[in-house]
Amino acid sequence: MKPLLRWLGLVLLAGFALQLFFLLRIASMAAIDPESTTFQRSEAWRIATGRDRFRWRQQWLPYAQISEHLKRAVIASEDGSFVNHDGVDWDAVEKAWERNAKAEEQAARRAALVRPVARPPKVIGGSTITQQLAKNLLLSGERTLLRKGQEFVLTFALERMLSKRRILEIYLNNVEWGEGVFGAEAAAQHYFRKSASKLGPYEAARLAVMLPQPKRFEKNPGSGYLASRASTIVARMRDAVVP
């Protein structure tokens, strides 16, 4: 019994130490720009060990120098209630769960026609800008309930320890916009050969629309969907509230 209790104690201690590390890391970001994220490091390793030529673009741009159009476009596209929620948009989460449940049910029916397959639960969609930042900064890309729970904890920590303006600044400087392309400045230079400070409304909207699947849209920048969706985002940008 004692070895079991000792083992459980060590597990709890390790878990507490990990949470403390996460909180200290987030607290430091109030004043220190993060040099990289967990997602970026994993991507750097994948690219460096792959067959393709290594390419990496990233340059930090202060919040005030990032185009207001891009801020509005990203909020309009990714998280319309960004300035109002506490880090989680519960209505969006509920809708995402409903979509996932239907998708799981349909997949199970198709699988049953061939053979039953056990499928792990997934939580997809409904993520706010703060949640996306929490995941990319500190967590792996796996989609499990445990990882999602940790994401919620870090999301609330980000919201309480950093301002909305700072959260958006870190997000825009670290989010992926293509293979080895991270942050607004790198994306603006890569796609439009200009600084992120000079992006116009439509250019900003096109970048915002790319965010869910940047590698896919990078390969097909002339996508009809991309152009159509960008026009929709431009129309929504006037209503987006920027911190």
pLDDT for the residue 123:
45
Is 123 in contact with 148 (CB distance < 8 Å)? yes
pLDDT for the residue 107:
64
CA-based nearest residue to 196, from 47, 57, 76: 57
When pLDDT is cut at 50, 70 and 90, the band that residue 26 belongs to is very high
Residue type, 69: H
| Domain tally, the chain | 1
The region of weakest confidence among 5-14, 55-64, 73-82, 228-237 is 5-14
Angle at 114 between CA 108 and CA 117, to 5 degrees: 45
Q: Is 223 exposed, middle or buried (0-12, 13-18, 19+ CB in 10 A)?
A: middle
Measured between alpha carbons, how far apart are the two ends of the chain, in Å? 54
Which range of residues forms the domain containing residue 50? 36-82+162-243
pLDDT for the residue 120:
46
Query: For residue 101, is it within any domain?
Result: no
Query: For residue 55, is it within any domain?
Result: yes
Query: For residue 149, is it within any domain?
Result: no
Q: pLDDT tens, 65-124?
A: 999 999 999 999 999 999 999 888 777 666 766 666 666 666 666 666 665 444 444 444
d(CA 39, CA 42): 5
pLDDT for the residue 98:
65
Query: For residue 91, is it within any domain?
Result: no
Query: For residue 236, is it within any domain?
Result: yes
Q: pLDDT tens, 53-65?
A: 678 889 999 999 9
Q: pLDDT tens, 203-222?
A: 999 999 999 899 999 988 88
Query: Is the Cα dihedral 95, 98, 102, 107 positive or negative?
Result: positive
Is 88 in contact with 125 (CB distance < 8 Å)? no
pLDDT for the residue 92:
67
The CATH number linked to 63 is 1.10.3810.10
Residue 230 has pLDDT above 90, yes or no: yes
Query: For residue 156, is it within any domain?
Result: no
Q: pLDDT tens, 112-144?
A: 666 544 444 444 456 899 999 999 999 876 777
Query: For residue 66, is it within any domain?
Result: yes
């869910």: which residue's tokens? 212
pLDDT for the residue 145:
77
Q: Dig out the tokens for 199 from the structure.
A: 């992006």
Query: For residue 173, is it within any domain?
Result: yes
Q: pLDDT tens, 164-191?
A: 999 999 999 999 999 999 999 999 999 9
**DSSP strand E in the chain: where?**
176-178, 181-182
